Structure 1
Amino acid sequence: MKHLLSLSLILTVCLLANSANAQEQDKKSKKQAKKEERAKIEQQNIAMVALAIDSSAYVLEADRLQSKRGVTINVPSNLNFIAVHGESAFIQIGSNSAVGTNGVGGVSVDARITKMEVKKNPKNGGYSIQMTCMSSAGIYDINISSNADGQAVTATIGSTRSGKLTYLGQIVPLPLSRVYKGTPRY
């Protein structure tokens, strides 16, 4: 009887150990599957951003704005953006809480791109874009720096007038963008 009890105890311990090992293997396989899925999505984002930048059809949707003194504020990305389509650019600052001359509580500028230079970093796949835009409100120099998948983007706008504004956000291909254009005053 003791022998049978010992045998059943050993069998139970072996089954529990096997079950724990199977659960551990299941966790590892799920973790690996999630990791592979994230890598696949990242590669798709990289390809999509590369196509958008190469075809000059993208929108930098800013979720934060930074002044020249470094003060950063959170803003709605559908109202604060820089849109590039071919040789034209649309620059907008807006607010949900006010209504201005552009209808979205800020400034909207429709400009023509007179000069654009796109450089791709071969090491990390990031982009550096320099544009000069001309509108009836003046000349704007825009410098955009982006990582490869377009999720960490910084754009600094300077003009012939004093001042500088930095947009912080992400690059979205033009057809997938969800921005709301106000009425351009300039």
Structure 2
Amino acid sequence: MKKGKSQLSPEQQEKLLEILKTRFEKNMNRHNGLEWEKVQAKLETNTEKLWSLYEMERTGGEPDVVGFDKETGEFIFYDCSPESPKGRRSVCYDREALESRKKHKPQNNAIDMARDMGIEILSEEQYRELQKLGHFDTKTSSWVKTPENIRKLGGAIFCDRRYGTVFVYHNGADSYYASRGFRGSLRV
């Protein structure tokens, strides 16, 4: 995470908490049995995580609580925007892929962006969990964590939802498209 940028003003914190609360209350099917007051209390004591949620929101991710880890006591947030977050599209998979391009390089890559935001890119399993909560990426696609054996061969994987089904595809890690971004997760 980039240092020096991880603090929100009190006004930004208040506005973000209001947005998150409204989204939480509007989408109770994503987090049955959880209470907003407990989520908010956890967020207010973890300002770096609040900054990461702000970055998820700022880039179009519409983060929301999708679970609670009883072992760690952490709330789990995923990007829940209907389509891949607009502010995170047209990126290749990782730094190695970005540097390998000779012409027409994208401005960034999914792995570095996620790290700088303080979040993790969704795994295929997490992506499938998200799809149980609604229909996401019906017009776009999202990079997901790629197994090392695929990445070593120059590839990366991405997912989308078409025809009522979640599909997993492959592409060169250096590819990028206006309709492909990435979704993230954050534990608080």
Which one has the bigger strand percentage?
1
Common topology (TM > 0.5):
no
Instruction: Between the two structures, name the one with larger relative contact order (CA 8 Å, sep ≥ 6).
Output: 2
Which one has the bigger helix percentage?
2
TM-score, normalisation: structure 2 = 0.22
